[in-house]
């Protein structure tokens, strides 16, 4: 492998994201690197911002925090960087509710887990028949926040079936199950666009709601579900419906438990209890319905670890693009 680029983000990330390939003949598909979800101004104006909390202490210790209490159960980060559930009952919330720019709490509030900048080191590498993939460049502890899915926000009425591609995440609102929105990373995106599927993934994605009231404006955030070693590929499960949508395409994860490959085991042969996917997580079980294209990913347990940022993050917009960020970085 040779290094083709020292930083595909061109300085937009606080940590460089390098690029490797077998030879200089390889080239990334063209896209514009952005650290944000790009939303048209008109779409922003159509959705109200949530009222911020008025906490003057860390929301971790304030049971009356209005942000923390939006969902049935909140997942907050303690002083050691690891989150703990705030109740003993099963979680049924389909998203994490965080504090945001209108809140009076500290910018270091423990209820701003996913607003940390990129702090772990990653690199993009060509994976042969799989194409490009994202790999860890250092050890990543289990339950760590990694990054969010950046791209262009597209409303349901703005997208056609032929526009749905491997870079599109579809988000449905829990209170309006037939209302959808999309984040399309085909033209604009960050390192998350290179995350491939695995039938035995080491990461998962979850919706996070902060500034907007409308759940269709949720961000998609990635977390490690186990310790990840240097040079290990970052993967998530795209779900059954994704592969049904892909038709004759075959999975190339090469895992023994592969469900969609050429020699895939039948469901009875796999014998995988969904509860076992997250059996190593210590929080109460909960259900998250997250749609990737038309698929549903069930996340049954969650515990997050947040690394202390080593850099100051500065969000950079894109020229001639109407950008409305979900929150200001301060």
Question: Counting beta carbons within 10 angstroms of the beta carbon of residue 192, is it exposed (0 to 12), middle (13 to 18) or buried (19 or more)?
Answer: buried
**Cα gap 233→229, rounded to integer Å:** 9
* Residue 304 within any structural domain of the chain: no
pLDDT attached to residue 46: 54
* Residue 50 within any structural domain of the chain: yes
Say if CB 124 and CB 78 are below 8 A apart. Answer: no
Show the domain range for 131: 2-245+287-299
* Residue 127 within any structural domain of the chain: yes
pLDDT attached to residue 319: 28
Which domain CATH number covers 133?
2.170.270.10
Low-confidence ranges of the chain (pLDDT < 70): 41-48, 69-94, 156-157, 159-164, 172-180, 213-215, 263-330
Tell me the per-residue pLDDT of 240-266, one tens digit each, with 9 for 90 and over: 777 877 777 788 898 888 988 876 655
Tell me the per-residue pLDDT of 140-156, one tens digit each, with 9 for 90 and over: 998 888 999 999 988 76
* Residue 327 within any structural domain of the chain: no
Total of domains in the chain: 1
Helix (H, G, I), strand (E, B) or coil at 292: strand
Total Cβ atoms within 10 A of residue 280: 12
Handedness of CA 28, 34, 37, 40 (dihedral sign): negative
pLDDT attached to residue 318: 27
**Cα gap 51→211, rounded to integer Å:** 8
Say if CB 195 and CB 201 are below 8 A apart. Answer: no
**Cα gap 281→270, rounded to integer Å:** 22
- The string of DSSP letters for 29-42 reads PP-EE-SSEE--HH
Residue 7's nearest CA partner among 121, 116, 132 is 121
**Cα gap 265→207, rounded to integer Å:** 30
**Cα gap 171→168, rounded to integer Å:** 10
Say if CB 14 and CB 117 are below 8 A apart. Answer: yes
Residue 223's nearest CA partner among 290, 151, 141, 280 is 141
pLDDT attached to residue 283: 29
pLDDT attached to residue 69: 63
CA distances from 92 to 98, 107, 328 (A): 16, 28, 29
Rounded to the nearest 10°, the torsion over CA 8, 121, 209, 243 is 70
* Residue 319 within any structural domain of the chain: no
* Residue 251 within any structural domain of the chain: no
pLDDT attached to residue 239: 79
Rounded to the nearest 10°, the torsion over CA 78, 192, 41, 163 is -140
Question: Which 8-state DSSP code applies to residue 279?
Answer: T
pLDDT attached to residue 313: 27
Handedness of CA 24, 29, 32, 37 (dihedral sign): negative
Say if CB 299 and CB 281 are below 8 A apart. Answer: no
CB environment 141-155: b (16+ within 10 A), e (fewer): ebbbbbbbbbbbbbb
pTM attached to this predicted model: 0.74
* Residue 136 within any structural domain of the chain: yes
* Residue 70 within any structural domain of the chain: yes
pLDDT attached to residue 171: 73
pLDDT attached to residue 33: 98
């Amino acid at each position: 492998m040779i290094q083709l680029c020292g930083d595909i983000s061109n300085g937009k990330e606080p940590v460089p994201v390098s690029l490797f390939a077998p030879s200089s003949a390889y080239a990334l598909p063209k896209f514009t690197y952005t650290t944000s979800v790009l939303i048209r101004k008109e779409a922003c104006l159509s959705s109200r911002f949530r009222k911020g909390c008025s906490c003057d202490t860390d929301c971790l210790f304030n049971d009356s925090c209005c942000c923390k209490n939006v969902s049935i159960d909140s997942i907050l980060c303690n002083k050691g960087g690891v989150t703990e559930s705030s109740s003993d009952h099963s979680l049924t919330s389909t998203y994490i509710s965080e504090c945001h720019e209108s809140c009076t709490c500290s910018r270091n509030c423990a209820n701003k887990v996913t607003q940390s900048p990129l702090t772990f080191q990653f690199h993009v590498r060509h994976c042969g028949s799989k194409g490009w993939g994202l790999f860890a460049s250092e050890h990543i502890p289990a339950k760590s926040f990694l990054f969010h899915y950046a791209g262009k926000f597209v409303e349901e009425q703005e997208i056609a079936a032929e526009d749905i591609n491997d870079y599109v995440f579809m988000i449905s609102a829990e209170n309006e199950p037939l209302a959808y929105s999309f984040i399309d990373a085909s033209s604009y995106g960050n390192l998350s666009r290179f995350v491939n599927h695995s039938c035995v993934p080491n990461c998962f994605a979850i919706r996070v709601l902060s500034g907007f009231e409308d759940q269709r404006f949720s961000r998609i955030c990635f977390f490690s579900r186990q310790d990840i070693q240097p040079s290990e590929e970052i993967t998530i499960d795209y779900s059954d419906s994704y592969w049904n949508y892909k038709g004759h395409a075959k999975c190339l994860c090469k895992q023994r438990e592969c469900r969609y490959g050429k020699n895939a085991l039948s469901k009875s042969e796999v014998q995988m209890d969904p509860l076992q996917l997250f059996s190593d997580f210590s929080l109460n079980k909960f259900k998250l319905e997250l749609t990737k294209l038309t698929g549903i990913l069930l996340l049954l347990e969650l515990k997050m670890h947040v690394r202390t940022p080593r850099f100051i993050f500065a969000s950079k917009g894109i020229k001639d693009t109407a950008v409305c960020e979900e929150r200001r970085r301060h």
